Structure 1
Amino acid sequence: MINKKLMTEEDIKLRFITPAITMKWNIDHITMETKITDGKINLKGNFVFREKPKKADYILYVNENNPIAIVEAKDNNHSVSFGMQQAMTYAQMLDVPFAYSSNGDAFFEHDFLTGFERQIPLTEFPSLEELMVRYQAAKVLSDQGKQIIGQPYYTSQNTYAPRYYQRNAINRTVDAIARRQQRLLLVMATGTGKTYTAFQIVYRLLKSGMKKKVLYLADRNILVDQSIQQDFAPLEKTIHKINFAKDDPITITSHEVYFSLYQQLTDREDEEVEDNEDETVSRLATLFQRDFFDLIIVDECHRGSAKKDSNWRRILDYFNSATKIGMTATPKETKYISNIDYFGEPIYTYSLREGIEDGFLAPFRVINIHTNIGEGWRPFKGQLDKNGQEIEDRIYTNSDFDYKIVIDGRTHEVAREITKYLKSTDRMQKTIVFCANEDHAERMRISLINLNSDMVKQNPDYVVRITGSDVYGKSKIDYFISVSANYPVIATTSKLLSTGADCKMTKLIVLDQMIGSMTEFKQIIGRGTRLREKEGKTHFTVMDFRNVTCLFADPEWDGPIEQDDKFDKGGPNPVTPGSVTPPSPGPEKNEKPIVDEYGCTVIVIGKTVSIYDSNGKLLRQESIIDYTKSNILGSYASLDNFISKWSSEDKKESIKNLLLERGIDLESLKVEQNMVDVDDFDFICHVAFGQKPLTRRERANNVKKRDFLSKYNGVAREVLEALLDKYMNTGVYEIEKTEVLKLDPFLKFGKPSKIAQFFGGKDGYLQAIRELEEELYKVG
């Protein structure tokens, strides 16, 4: 028999570990090499790559819903317990109570229920029944609890199996409800599938008989309609959207899942409007008894329901006997508002940081753009605005622009930078421009249309304002958030798209408003976090014109959720409507001064690109060109050194690829710098070493002036002249490839092998290409 020490990990698994497990476990309860995460997506400049996903060697299941143990294998050169730390990490991620490690000699067990560890022989690996006895004894499961464990998820060809964190959220929730917990809070980052998780919870509770009537509450129609049409579609035959004007109290009882806006149930559009509690109760009573619903799900519960004296809270109080589940990406905890006060501590939290680390959410880069007036602009003495009114003499900053004063040139410059970025990357990428207010969103729409008239000519919905008062814009929301609809491409907004809207394909988020609330900031960033790799979305960009991304440095960005020490737990909130989160810029004036482009010239004076880790910690921040320069200088000590390396490379594209690995996409940078007609060689020399760049045409003409081609005759000369023309259009990389000879205009000369004969054979042709390149890059 082969010595165990010489066996690979796979051999150890095959010969020892798998037989020991399958001796006690049915193979239907085992999965191997199970992918837990998708692997973090990393950004290096414009280069994107995934890390390897986390995989468990063995996962053992009670049933398809509930994993109960993790087993990690190592080869026999490691100790029995060597894989325990890894097994424990995976076990904690998957919420399983038992973790095992093995090297083929024995098993090592960590019991999370007791905290003890022990070594056990291969032949004594515990069976499913043994683990369940230990689990049920520790958890003291009720009959209802045991029943819900066995209730399966909804599965179909169109519904994916829950990810590990969704399964954790579902299992913890149904388990808590089985234990008669009445209020629960689930905190899951935007883009991680809160609504899908809610659907699976509802499905399991309905099918198990634990709940019979469910109310799903939201505060925006788009959230209700999205949920009904997408994640809750499998329950469409039992779903009803509440409509007080049409619903009959008798027939309305025939459904299982009810969707409604808070506003419909209170008959109030604004939660801050003074309301008579009796009126709310009377309205609800026309359709529903107080005990009609036994489960209420509150979507985006950081909004109205977080305030204890809000009209929306009265709905929850009316249906007092129902179990309530609050769901949000951004729980709100302030002096006056608290999700924890009502729903309790989160029963499960899956943060943006975890989502990015696991590769389920898109990472992002931030481009901060600084204008010459960002830190302050002061009108000259007696300066008048466009309407002939004198402008108050003081210093205006980013907190004032578009809130207290309008600078036309600034709006245009912001729009110009957005357009410039889109032209250098992808003009059809979904873009949300967050503006100070609706008026600002309209002015931004006009500027973007005029700067992108060629695209607007193709489709007038290329740029659309989507705000609360814009009926046309609101009618385009479904198209904007659709994965399949191309238009609208750019949406200018103020608040409407900041929360809830499922903008799956958003690749660019533009911040041109002041943000004083971390909750709102998280919600806005969340508009870009969804991944759609098949459709080409692997990451997104945040373009910041107001320096609001400094909030990434705030400990609250992705820190623990804690109740505010000053929160008053007794009695109604001692605040007046509208005072909860005062906007940082202060109240707007009804008539703001408007300064035209002649009264204030606005220019961009600098850009920095920032890459953050998943904790919001700054990894790198520098100007895009400086980053490129520092990386080139890190590879090539001097201009002479670079020229020598370039000249010695048989394939110049290897240098381009080296820079690409460091996150430098030369093509994109050349577009950004308006240097697309410049050779990569010249661009590198220009950026890193300050050399004056030549265009490809200028280099090709220099070769012709030096009469290099005169030493070739006939077809050989015609081929080289055609290669020079090809170089002018596409660059040096194409002429280095022999495949170019299979394309026009070389086809008229015959096959590549025949063309090579005009140079005395393949070696002669390659030598001619090397000499041509030497002439192209000759100095002087």
Structure 2
Amino acid sequence: MGINKATLTETEVRNIYIRPAIVNAGWEPITQMREEEMTKGQVIVKGNASSRNKDKILKPDFTLYYKPGIPLAAVEAKSNEFSVEHGIEQAINYIRYLDVPFAFSSNGDGFIFHDKTVLPHQVLETKISLEEFPSPEELWTKYAKWKKWTQEQALFCGQNYHSDDESDRSPRYYQSIAINRTIEAISKKQSKILLVMATGTGKTFTAFQIISRYRNFHIEQKGTQPRILFLADRNILVDQTMVNDFRPFKGVMAKLNAKSKTVERSDGTEEVLTNAIHQGKIDSSYEIYLGLYQSITGKEEYKKVFKSLPENFFDLIIIDECHRGSAKEESAWREILNHFDSATQVGLTATPLETKEDSNSQYFGDAIYTYSLAQGIEDGFLAPYKVINIGFDIDEAWEPTPGMRDEKGELVEQRIYNVKDYDRKLVIDERTKNVAKIFSDHLKKTNNRMAKTIIFCADINHAIRMRQALINENQDLVLKNDKYVERITGDNKVGKDQLDYFIDPDEAYPVIVTTSELMTTGVDAQTCKFIVLDQVMNSMTKFKQVIGRGTRIYEDGGHNKTWFTIFDFKNVSKLIYEDDFNGPSICIYNPKPGETTVPPDEREPSDSAGEAGENGEPGFTTAGPDEGGGSNTGGDDTGGEGGGSSSEKVFVKGVVVNQSHHSVANVGITGELETESYIQIVSEAKGAFQQKFTSLNDFIRKWNDADKKQAIIDELADQGIVWETLFEAVNKQLDPYDLICYLAFAQPPLTRAERANNVKKRNCFGKYSDSAKKVLQALLDKYADNGIEAIENNDILRVQPISNLGNKREIYREFFNGKDEYQQALKELEDQIYNDDYKQQA
């Protein structure tokens, strides 16, 4: 007797008919057929809690790979009650994300094959039998022909990814696109390539796979060993890259540096970095070199160590954070790239620089792929943000009283000052203290005092004063550990030594750091929950780099960091509303020969303003080739335009500073900032509850019938209900049951304590032993304190005072004659907790 397909579930159809058909066509089940999530679901922030929008998770039934990391097709399965065509539009949506041309839909009877590689006169969609599913080689051949690749290009583009047996880390869909497009561009002899990927999306891992595939192709197919250079402008970027993502290159890799250095890996082990510079020359025996611009060049000719290598030495150069020095035509960093101009050069950046004076696209050309912050947030790979904008009454305009004198006793210039002047030209100490107090009060109110925070100040002097103000606002925690607040600026070696501890998720201290420029880029602060802006920023590039310090999601080790907050005291967040915040940067590079388009004193400060060292360029310092910027002569943290020296500023005290406005907005499901309102949150929840439950009786019936109430709570959370925020908005002492009854059906709510007391009055546990009654009484108390979720978790039996009565096994066997009787007693307890006969009669 045959199987009746009509009675099978979608999963059964997929496993009985669709999977075997694909395997029989030659697809290897482990490496070429993946059932995996392409996206994770956007994090939705409501109040001080968050949930993932699971409706937006993209998960093809099968993603088909020619080789791991090289996708070709998506397959969507449906149960047999639907037609064979039913899932094709869903599959086509998947391949838009995958950047591939083949989509399949099936209900178990056959397949609909959507083939974007067909010629104009051919059929785009065809129906094929289960036995006609194409093999990997068939699709790869069609794909290569469609791409118009030569045989060598097809070999290059089909080169294996590096697989790491230790971590089993496979590229995300957008990383595969970036890698594959880069390899294709290189195979077509494109000499300059630009990739734009938002901070936190894995640019270094992407670079590693590009290098690995490039190197393997030349070694395996051409019998040559290519020379590759990875350039960065922060020492920490190079060091962590070498010991983490690039570690498989150990043995053929060296750092362009004058000395060896021991660096701690992400797993806690230490590793000595091999150096390649000896007596002012570069050892040419390695294949892969990593270095800082400032380690191999400088103002004086003798510092230009890169010239010890022939111009054709490197075959491939990857430039990390290429929006910085390499975007500047007059930069000495560009001199390195020009010297090795015969090499293929790949620029990586989260924020391409496009001004009238400097341009990434003018040098590299248009980006071959862009993965934006907005897309990363929508996909659930990057953390969304809340913006809290706070202003003071003096920010728009403040005029000193006639005859007012500064701290030196000199008359303060009689004119109108505003927020652009503060902390650069005019220092009002009361404003700094207000910023520190308002932010510290927020941390106390939201129970976030140990949340990692970066405060961006106007310059070093401002960072010093902000540190002191924060210490005075948080005396209790500073006395507990004096590293609670640290200043990390280019001139402060003590502070810079704390940087690694700040970015380490396993290190509690420092918690709050003040800085100006040093931490705008190259700082992988995975657990950073607050970005505080008290620095005027006109540069979109710099602003996006700064908020990029908070965009990483980190859910390991109990941190549960899924979103971050931008605390804005100088209205910098207005840049979020500009067109190029989420969109592409437009090239406006237009210098005229022999002159500057915009006079230097009128230029908008760029992301590297104030980072000039002895060469007048970002990152160059007198602190030595391994500092990566920052020195007592200014380094990379002098504060930018008009802000380096405190002696140039006017300091005044005694000014009354009042808060004038306070607004809060979240990144909503549309990607736009939406004003946060508890009224709106409650209204949305009410609508969701009424859609889920048709009436009060319908809700009570479903609640009482549920084996575990937690299942209903979790299901509603998956649909976007953020319970923590609802309790905060309505009443923290309510149970989810009462919250639903109150919001959806206007029933008077009872607190958990009131429900527990009602049960005690009924004396409803007479049939149980004294020991069992004690357990049930303790469970009732736990419910009153912590809610229904707590007592439905059997681990509650390991918590005092219940654990004092006996261990879990003793409670099951001796108090309740087994686990089943305990579960029945718990169910009866819940029935008594929710015994609302009057509601069911309503």
Q: Which amino acid aligns with 1:223?
A: L
Q: Which amino acid aligns with 2:227?
A: K
Shift in Å, 1:84: 2.2
Equivalent residues in 2 for 1:225-624, closer than 5 Å: 225-243=239-257, 247=278, 252-268=283-299, 283-284=304-305, 287-423=308-444, 424-535=446-557, 536-564=560-588, 567-568=590-591, 580-582=603-605, 587-588=642-643, 590-596=647-653, 598-603=654-659, 606-613=662-669, 615=671, 617-618=672-673, 620-622=674-676
Q: Which amino acid aligns with 2:50?
A: F
The CA distance in 2 between the partners of 1:166 and 1:144, in whole Å, is 23
Q: CA offsets per residue over residues 341-364 of structure 1, 9 Å max, x none?
A: 111111111111221121111122
The CA distance in 2 between the partners of 1:90 and 1:43, in whole Å, is 26
The CA distance in 2 between the partners of 1:133 and 1:746, in whole Å, is 67
The alignment partner of 1:608 has SS state of strand
Indicate if the aligned counterparts of 2:41 and 2:52 stay in contact, CA closer than 8 A: no
Q: Which amino acid aligns with 2:524?
A: D
Aligned pairs, number: 728
Q: CA offsets per residue over residues 437-468 of structure 1, 9 Å max, x none?
A: 11111111011112212222222111111112
Q: CA offsets per residue over residues 229-280 of structure 1, 9 Å max, x none?
A: 2211221222222236952588701111112222233214xxxxxxxxxx65
Matched, 1:146 2:154: yes
- Change in Cα spacing, 1:126 to 1:261, as seen in structure 2 (3 Å) is same
Q: CA offsets per residue over residues 80-103 of structure 1, 9 Å max, x none?
A: 333222222222222223222223
Shift in Å, 1:748: 11
Which of the numbers 102, 109, 118 marks the counterpart of 2:125? 118
Aligned equivalent of 2:25: 24
The CA distance in 1 between the partners of 2:166 and 2:601, in whole Å, is 44
- Change in Cα spacing, 1:265 to 1:138, as seen in structure 2 (3 Å) is same
Aligned equivalent of 1:107: 112
The CA distance in 2 between the partners of 1:766 and 1:612, in whole Å, is 37
Indicate if the aligned counterparts of 1:194 and 1:327 stay in contact, CA closer than 8 A: yes
Indicate if the aligned counterparts of 1:217 and 1:260 stay in contact, CA closer than 8 A: yes
Shift in Å, 1:749: 11
TM norm structure 1:
0.80
Q: Which amino acid aligns with 2:179?
A: I
Indicate if the aligned counterparts of 1:217 and 1:296 stay in contact, CA closer than 8 A: yes
Indicate if the aligned counterparts of 1:419 and 1:451 stay in contact, CA closer than 8 A: yes
Shift in Å, 1:408: 1.7
- Change in Cα spacing, 1:580 to 1:301, as seen in structure 2 (3 Å) is farther
Q: CA offsets per residue over residues 47-68 of structure 1, 9 Å max, x none?
A: 3235153111222222223222
Indicate if the aligned counterparts of 1:249 and 1:288 stay in contact, CA closer than 8 A: no
The CA distance in 2 between the partners of 1:385 and 1:630, in whole Å, is 53
- Change in Cα spacing, 1:140 to 1:124, as seen in structure 2 (3 Å) is same
The alignment partner of 1:448 has SS state of helix
- Change in Cα spacing, 1:409 to 1:665, as seen in structure 2 (3 Å) is farther
Indicate if the aligned counterparts of 1:338 and 1:567 stay in contact, CA closer than 8 A: no
Indicate if the aligned counterparts of 1:408 and 1:595 stay in contact, CA closer than 8 A: yes
Q: Which amino acid aligns with 2:433?
A: H
Q: Which amino acid aligns with 2:160?
A: P
Equivalent residues in 2 for 1:156-171, closer than 5 Å: 156-159=164-167, 160-171=169-180
Shift in Å, 1:580: 4.6
Aligned equivalent of 1:776: none
Shift in Å, 1:389: 3.2
Q: Which amino acid aligns with 2:658?
A: V
Indicate if the aligned counterparts of 1:42 and 1:51 stay in contact, CA closer than 8 A: no
- Change in Cα spacing, 1:572 to 1:81, as seen in structure 2 (3 Å) is farther
Indicate if the aligned counterparts of 1:434 and 1:494 stay in contact, CA closer than 8 A: yes
The alignment partner of 1:332 has SS state of coil
Indicate if the aligned counterparts of 2:384 and 2:667 stay in contact, CA closer than 8 A: no
Aligned equivalent of 2:192: 183
Shift in Å, 1:479: 1.4
Q: Bigger CA drift: 569-578 or 124-133?
A: 569-578
The CA distance in 1 between the partners of 2:800 and 2:226, in whole Å, is 71
The CA distance in 2 between the partners of 1:659 and 1:125, in whole Å, is 40
Q: Which amino acid aligns with 2:481?
A: N
Q: CA offsets per residue over residues 603-645 of structure 1, 9 Å max, x none?
A: 4653434334564x22x2146x666787799999xxxxxxxxx
Aligned equivalent of 1:60: 64
The alignment partner of 1:499 has SS state of coil
The CA distance in 2 between the partners of 1:59 and 1:737, in whole Å, is 38
Indicate if the aligned counterparts of 2:281 and 2:305 stay in contact, CA closer than 8 A: no
Indicate if the aligned counterparts of 1:372 and 1:604 stay in contact, CA closer than 8 A: yes
The CA distance in 2 between the partners of 1:118 and 1:738, in whole Å, is 51
- Change in Cα spacing, 1:607 to 1:679, as seen in structure 2 (3 Å) is farther
The CA distance in 2 between the partners of 1:71 and 1:659, in whole Å, is 29
Indicate if the aligned counterparts of 1:409 and 1:602 stay in contact, CA closer than 8 A: no
The CA distance in 2 between the partners of 1:222 and 1:743, in whole Å, is 44
Q: CA offsets per residue over residues 649-694 of structure 1, 9 Å max, x none?
A: 9999999999997547469959xx9x99x9999xx9xxx9xxxxxx
- Change in Cα spacing, 1:92 to 1:381, as seen in structure 2 (3 Å) is same
Indicate if the aligned counterparts of 1:608 and 1:622 stay in contact, CA closer than 8 A: yes
Aligned equivalent of 2:636: none
Q: Percent identity?
A: 40
Indicate if the aligned counterparts of 2:183 and 2:210 stay in contact, CA closer than 8 A: yes
Specify every segment of 5 or more residues in structure 1 that has no aligned partner in the other structure, as ranges: 269-278, 637-648, 689-695, 709-714, 755-760, 772-780
The CA distance in 1 between the partners of 2:144 and 2:827, in whole Å, is 77
Aligned equivalent of 1:775: none
Indicate if the aligned counterparts of 1:364 and 1:612 stay in contact, CA closer than 8 A: no
Which of the numbers 182, 199, 212 marks the counterpart of 2:226? 212
Indicate if the aligned counterparts of 1:113 and 1:135 stay in contact, CA closer than 8 A: no
- Change in Cα spacing, 1:82 to 1:254, as seen in structure 2 (3 Å) is same
Which of the numbers 58, 65, 86 marks the counterpart of 2:90? 86
The alignment partner of 1:461 has SS state of coil
Q: Bigger CA drift: 452-461 or 106-115?
A: 106-115
Q: CA offsets per residue over residues 120-178 of structure 1, 9 Å max, x none?
A: 32132222232233223233333432332443222224441111111111111122212
Q: Which amino acid aligns with 1:207?
A: N
The CA distance in 1 between the partners of 2:338 and 2:826, in whole Å, is 85
Indicate if the aligned counterparts of 1:666 and 1:680 stay in contact, CA closer than 8 A: no
Aligned equivalent of 1:8: 9
Indicate if the aligned counterparts of 1:80 and 1:108 stay in contact, CA closer than 8 A: no
Shift in Å, 1:7: 3.8
Q: CA offsets per residue over residues 24-71 of structure 1, 9 Å max, x none?
A: 223346414332222222222223235153111222222223222222
Q: Bigger CA drift: 63-72 or 114-123?
A: 114-123
The CA distance in 2 between the partners of 1:356 and 1:630, in whole Å, is 25
The CA distance in 1 between the partners of 2:18 and 2:716, in whole Å, is 45
TM norm structure 2:
0.74
Q: Bigger CA drift: 317-326 or 655-664?
A: 655-664
RMSD: 5.0
